[in-house]
Amino acid sequence: MIKMTHSTTTISKKQNLSLFLIVFSAILLVANAKPATFLQDFRITWSDSHIKQLDGGRAIQLVLDQNSGCGFASKSQYLFGRVSMKIKLIPGDSAGTVTAFYMNSDTDQVRDELDFEFLGNRTGQPYSVQTNVYAHGKGDREQRVNLWFDPAADYHTYSILWNHHHVVFSVDEVPIRVYKNNEAKGVPFPKFQPMGVYSTLWEADDWATRGGLEKIDWNKAPFYAYYKDFDIEGCVVPGPRSCASNPSNWWEGSTYQQLDPVAARRYRWVRMNHMVYDYCTDKHRYPVTPPECVAGI
């Protein structure tokens, strides 16, 4: 007969507790899992006949033809957080088209907005992504970067991190744009209005490609863009918790208040090698450099 000692009993209890915690944690992860399908987080806002659900709703196809473009939006609004999507852009000759992924306060006069706009190209030319920031109704802060890969060949992840310290636009976790909170220097920063998440595919051949010189070739239509892996982690408004100081809002943590050394190095690489337009250096539009562009800010 095996005699059960006190230490053996204690170990057995610890093992049972550990097993319980593992099972309990797994249950919590399942309960808090991100929505798996498009319609759980989003609604179609424009031309539902031009948005097709794929893979049981875990991916979607957007269509642009001569009849219409299309668009969708999140069902909720958020005040700070992080949103990301995997997008595969229009292949081939996409000149004059714009695929947009952005956050917007949906207010007319004093709008806040954070924009990704993917500008179509002629076959063989680089795909440009334009970012813009509207704060308290003031925009005109465009920057353009030529992507260093073919964004139509496969899915790539595009994300916006938004907290009290800065807004960071990233491509495959590489920062391409940082807009810092410089309210102390009189520069507006979007922090009072919640924003929804939006996307559209539309015709913009009056400005999108080479300033409107390249028009849409409708013989190449219809044009398709694809989305999947919709991920929104943000403070829902209205919601049960504070959007400012709750410690469970991970995006406000010290790790996310500035770029880490690796991200900062990647950011410098993008700006040195792939930036093709920066409003900060456009002396025709801004004879006086905007205050947020001054070195050291």
Question: In this structure, what CATH number is given to the domain that contains residue 130?
Answer: 2.60.120.200
**Structure confidence by residue, pLDDT tens digits, 63-112:** 999 999 999 999 999 999 999 999 999 999 998 899 999 999 988 779 99
Distance CA 89, CA 5 (A): 66
Residues 9 and 60 in one domain: no
pLDDT over 90 (residue 224): yes
Residues 7 and 53 in one domain: no
pLDDT over 90 (residue 123): no
Query: Between the ranges 118-127, 133-142, 242-251, where is the mean pLDDT highest?
Result: 133-142
How far, in Å, are 10, 169, 178, 187 from residue 133 at the CA level?
59, 10, 10, 12
pLDDT level of residue 207 (50, 70, 90 thresholds) = low
Q: Which pLDDT value is given to residue 22?
A: 41
Q: Which pLDDT value is given to residue 208?
A: 63
Contact indicator for 162, 251 with CB cutoff of 8 Å:
yes
- State the total domains in the chain: 2
Residues 24 and 67 in one domain: no
Distance CA 109, CA 138 (A): 10
Residue 226 pairs with which residues in a beta bridge?
61, 88
Active site residues: 113, 117
Residues 3 and 46 in one domain: no
Residues 27 and 57 in one domain: no
Q: Which pLDDT value is given to residue 13?
A: 47
Residues 9 and 150 in one domain: no
**Structure confidence by residue, pLDDT tens digits, 15-58:** 554 444 444 443 343 334 454 578 889 999 989 999 999 999 99
Residues 22 and 45 in one domain: no
DSSP output for 263-296:
HHHHHHHHHHHTEEEEGGG-TTT-SSPPGGGSTT
pLDDT over 80 (residue 161): yes
Residue 115 pairs with which residues in a beta bridge?
102, 132
Residue-averaged pLDDT of the chain: 86
Residues 11 and 47 in one domain: no
pLDDT level of residue 212 (50, 70, 90 thresholds) = low
Q: Which pLDDT value is given to residue 185?
A: 85
Domain that holds residue 14: 1-33
